[in-house]
Amino acid sequence: MENIIASAVSQVGDTGHEAAPRRSPPGSFVIFGGGGDLTRRLLLPAIYNLACAGLLDDGFSVVAVDRAELTDAQLQRNVRAALEDFAARRGAEAVTLREDIWAWMQPRIRYVRGDFESMQTYQDIAAVVGDQNCIFYLAVAARFFGPIVDRLGEAGLVREGRHTFRRVIVEKPFGNDLPSAVALNERLLHTLTEQQIYRIDHYLGKETVQNILALRFSNGFFEPLWNRQNIDHVQITAAETVGVEQRAKFYEGTGALRDMVPNHVMQLLAMTAMEAPISFDADAVRNEKTKVLDAIHPLLPQDVVRGQYAPGVVGGKEVPGYRQEPGVDPHSLTETYMAMKFQIDNWRWAGVPFYVRTGKRLAARKTEIAIHFKSAPYALFRDTPVEKLAPNIMVIHIQPTEGVTMQFSAKIPGPSVRLGGVRMKFDYAEWFSEGPSTGYETLIYDCMIGDATLFQRADNIEAGWRAVQPVLDWGQDARSLDFYAAGSEGPEAADALLARDHRHWLKIG
Ligand code: BG6
């Protein structure tokens, strides 16, 4: 069964004329926070992967900007170490750094030391980048987004030429509630045009997230079923096994809601629920996303569960509760888990709940979207041993498994009519051999070629915040916090949220 389905896919999809992606235009990739963790773990390996794929122009260079005292040579040594580390982590086989690629990259890596608030830093950057194309990547704490963009403007660094571009990539968190996101948009738009701003959400760099649109809109048989007539409800899960790690300072003031929901989870929801855009043009896609998020009905307190992990066992190891983690207030009310029931008030989805949950220290690492279809009428089975028809479920697996499974009923061989639940599975890795990626390759490359489809427009960001703002307005208190053991499926209150509607969550672990 699996083979029949997937070979049909390859016959239809394989035109034999795959156009090679073009090289990026020449230019400087300036990273504010060039000595930081994101740069080392993800951005530089992504650039290395783009170089391996032959997608970078010879006129490409990286300029790392940070506060530490470093020479170009020292930075290059650090980058090499980071890339070796990345190569070694690439998969089952040990992979070593490609020396030909390193020989190409090394002379293209420069360092500018400076304070993000000082004009001198920007003059030094201007001297290095000249008047060529530039992308400024803000891999810094959110409090620097505004000041850096202000200074870039004052230094004339974001003025575009007739044939040159100046773009700014902004990391998350983009604001910490709706008013601050609106204010940040206003501040950035004072200096930049919307077309120059690339607000990143790394979930959109994931192949499997991008595949949601391909799956829905390149196949004839999903879309006719994708509505309230056929779908009972949708479950979106973004579960992690990791705890707060070394990020207590950031996480205490952020929590699971702000950290995951208005951005990553809302992207998954929007991709699942949006109408078909008229093209893959950036604005066409982003218009539809905003429209569906704007149709979300304001949340009610009974539709929201906030949880925090207590001590427990994860992967066979005892782990402390959130309040016992280093740097966390022992009476902290910060949530590490959220479950919510969203209702989308439009013709396609009215009456179809979208249940979403996300949390740390859960039973397994799993991000998936489960579409639960309505059951078929039972009438035919009245006189058989079949007591109940199982619903069909289509699960889009985002990570760590990447693929799609369909659950349906089949007759169990034998003389009487009995049904068994079976599963059809499409596994990404089985069908497509892609090199390992960090998820940032596509995003960086798209920014270089000026394709903003996978980036968030100001209104997308604000729509995400608007959907969760009621919860922020209620504020935190001890009554609204439910505890769950680390390594479990989450708080009982989350089960009760679905039980109230006579439904239950798919298991995480
Ligand atoms: C980040 C959050 O944006 O996403 C982290 O700040 C979270 O807290 C991470 O762990 C999850 O990303 P991924 O790609 O591992 O699902």
What atom of ligand 1 comes closest to residue 263's alpha carbon?
A: 3
pLDDT of residue 87: 76
pTM, full prediction: 0.93
Q: Whose CA is nearest to atom 8 of ligand 1?
A: 259
SS3 track for 290-344:
HHHHHCECCCCHHHEEEEEEECEEECCEEECCHHHCCCCCCCCCCCCEEEEEEEE
Distance CA 200, CA 46 (A): 15
Stretch 59-65: mean pLDDT = 97
Ligand 1 centroid vs 259 CA: distance in angstroms? 8
Q: How high does pLDDT run on average in the chain?
A: 92
pLDDT of residue 418: 86
Ligand 1 centroid vs 397 CA: distance in angstroms? 16
Q: Whose CA is nearest to atom 6 of ligand 1?
A: 259
Q: Which of 260, 266, 336, 398 to mutate to test the pocket of ligand 1 (most atoms within 8 A of CB)?
A: 260
Residue 443: which of 207, 266, 134, 152 has the closest Cα? 207
Ligand 1 centroid vs 488 CA: distance in angstroms? 19
Stretch 439-458: mean pLDDT = 96
Ligand 1 centroid vs 444 CA: distance in angstroms? 18
Q: Whose CA is nearest to atom 10 of ligand 1?
A: 240
Distance CA 264, CA 260 (A): 5
Confidence of residue 24 (pLDDT cuts 50, 70, 90): very high
Q: Tokens representing 224? A: 């006719």
Classify burial at 100, counting beta carbons within 10 Å of its beta carbon; exposed 0-12, middle 13-18, buried 19 or more: exposed
pLDDT of residue 388: 84
**Is the minimum distance from the CB of 232 to ligand 1 under 6 angstroms?**
no
pLDDT of residue 16: 44
Contact 385, 418 (CB under 8 A): yes
pLDDT of residue 454: 96
Confidence of residue 4 (pLDDT cuts 50, 70, 90): very low
Contact 411, 382 (CB under 8 A): no
Q: Which of 264, 357, 366, 367 to mutate to test the pocket of ligand 1 (most atoms within 8 A of CB)?
A: 264
**Residue 264 annotated to the active site:** yes
Q: Is 145's pLDDT higher than 70?
A: yes
Annotated binding residue 67: yes
Annotated binding residue 172: yes
**Is the minimum distance from the CB of 171 to ligand 1 under 6 angstroms?**
no
Ligand 1 centroid vs 384 CA: distance in angstroms? 48
Contact 427, 6 (CB under 8 A): no
CATH 3.30.360.10 domain extents, the chain: 204-499
Contact 401, 420 (CB under 8 A): no
Q: Whose CA is nearest to atom 2 of ligand 1?
A: 259
Stretch 195-204: mean pLDDT = 96
Catalytic entry in 17, 163, 190, 264:
264
Q: Whose CA is nearest to atom 9 of ligand 1?
A: 260
CATH level 2 (architecture), domain 6-171: 3-Layer(aba) Sandwich (3.40)
Long-range contacts of 155-163 (CB under 8 A, 24+ apart): 155/119, 155/122, 155/123, 155/125, 155/126, 156/126, 157/122, 157/125, 157/126, 157/129, 158/191, 158/192, 158/196, 160/196, 161/131
> Tell me: the pLDDT tens digits for 450-509?
999 999 999 999 999 999 999 999 987 777 899 999 999 999 999 999 999 999 999 999
What atom of ligand 1 comes closest to residue 240's alpha carbon?
A: 10
Annotated binding residue 360: yes
Q: Is 20's pLDDT higher than 80?
A: no
**Is the minimum distance from the CB of 240 to ligand 1 under 6 angstroms?**
yes
- Helix 145-154 and helix 119-129, axial crossing angle in degrees, nearest 10: 60
Q: Which of 206, 207, 236, 240 to mutate to test the pocket of ligand 1 (most atoms within 8 A of CB)?
A: 240
Ligand 1 centroid vs 337 CA: distance in angstroms? 13
What atom of ligand 1 comes closest to residue 360's alpha carbon?
A: 10
**Is the minimum distance from the CB of 259 to ligand 1 under 6 angstroms?**
yes
Q: Is 441's pLDDT higher than 70?
A: yes
What atom of ligand 1 comes closest to residue 242's alpha carbon?
A: 10
Stretch 131-160: mean pLDDT = 97
pLDDT of residue 11: 43
Superfamily of domain 204-499: Dihydrodipicolinate Reductase; domain 2 (3.30.360.10)
Q: What does each C-alpha distance from 46 to 93, 264, 316, 334, 336 come to in angstroms?
A: 19, 20, 33, 33, 29
CATH 3.40.50.720 domain extents, the chain: 6-171
pLDDT of residue 387: 83
pLDDT of residue 436: 64
Radius of gyration of the chain measured on its C-alpha atoms? 24
What atom of ligand 1 comes closest to residue 172's alpha carbon?
A: 3
Alpha-carbon torsion (100, 101, 102, 103), positive or negative: positive
Q: Is 12's pLDDT higher than 80?
A: no
Most confidently modeled range among 89-98, 235-244, 381-390:
235-244
Confidence of residue 249 (pLDDT cuts 50, 70, 90): very high
Ligand 1 centroid vs 244 CA: distance in angstroms? 11
Ligand 1 centroid vs 180 CA: distance in angstroms? 21
pLDDT of residue 1: 35
pLDDT of residue 157: 98
What atom of ligand 1 comes closest to residue 238's alpha carbon?
A: 16
pLDDT of residue 94: 61
DSSP H or E run through 49: helix 44-52
pLDDT of residue 391: 87
Distance CA 263, CA 468 (A): 10
Confidence of residue 85 (pLDDT cuts 50, 70, 90): confident
Q: Is 91's pLDDT higher than 70?
A: no
pLDDT of residue 88: 73
